[in-house]
Amino acid sequence: MIPTAFPPKEEIARLTARMLLEIGAVNFNTDEPYTLASGLPSPSYIDCRKLISFPRIRATLMDFMTVTVMRDAGFEAFDNIAGGETAGIPFAALVAERMALPMTYVRKKPKGYGKNARIEGAMSEGERVLLVEDLTTDGGSKLSFVDAIRETGATCGHTAVIFYYDIFPETTKTLGDHGVALHYLCTWWDVLAEARAQNAFSAETLAEVETFLNDPRAWQDARAKS
Q: Is 94 annotated as a binding residue?
A: no
Task: With beta carbons less than 8 A apart as the criterion, state whether 201 and 179 touch.
Answer: no
Strand partners, 161: 133, 184
- Angle at Cα 9 formed by Cα 169 and Cα 79, nearest 5°? 85
Strand order in the sheet with 155-164: 119-120, 103-106, 80-84, 128-136, 155-164, 181-187
Q: Is 135 annotated as a binding residue?
A: yes
Q: Is 223 annotated as a binding residue?
A: no
Q: Is 225 annotated as a binding residue?
A: no
DSSP secondary structure, 16-55, as one string: HHHHHHHTT-EEE-SSSPEEPTTS-EESEEE-GGGGGG-H
Task: With beta carbons less than 8 A apart as the criterion, state whether 194 and 17 touch.
Answer: yes
Q: Is 139 annotated as a binding residue?
A: yes
Give the C-alpha separation, 125 to 171, whole Å.
28
Q: Is 140 annotated as a binding residue?
A: yes
Q: Is 138 annotated as a binding residue?
A: yes
Q: Is 30 annotated as a binding residue?
A: no
Taking only Cα atoms into account, the Rg of the chain, rounded to an integer number of angstroms, comes to 18
Q: Is 177 annotated as a binding residue?
A: no
Q: Is 9 annotated as a binding residue?
A: no
Binding site membership for orotate: which residues?
137
Binding site membership for 5-phospho-alpha-D-ribose 1-diphosphate: which residues?
107-108, 111, 133-141
Binding site membership: which residues?
107-108, 111, 133-141
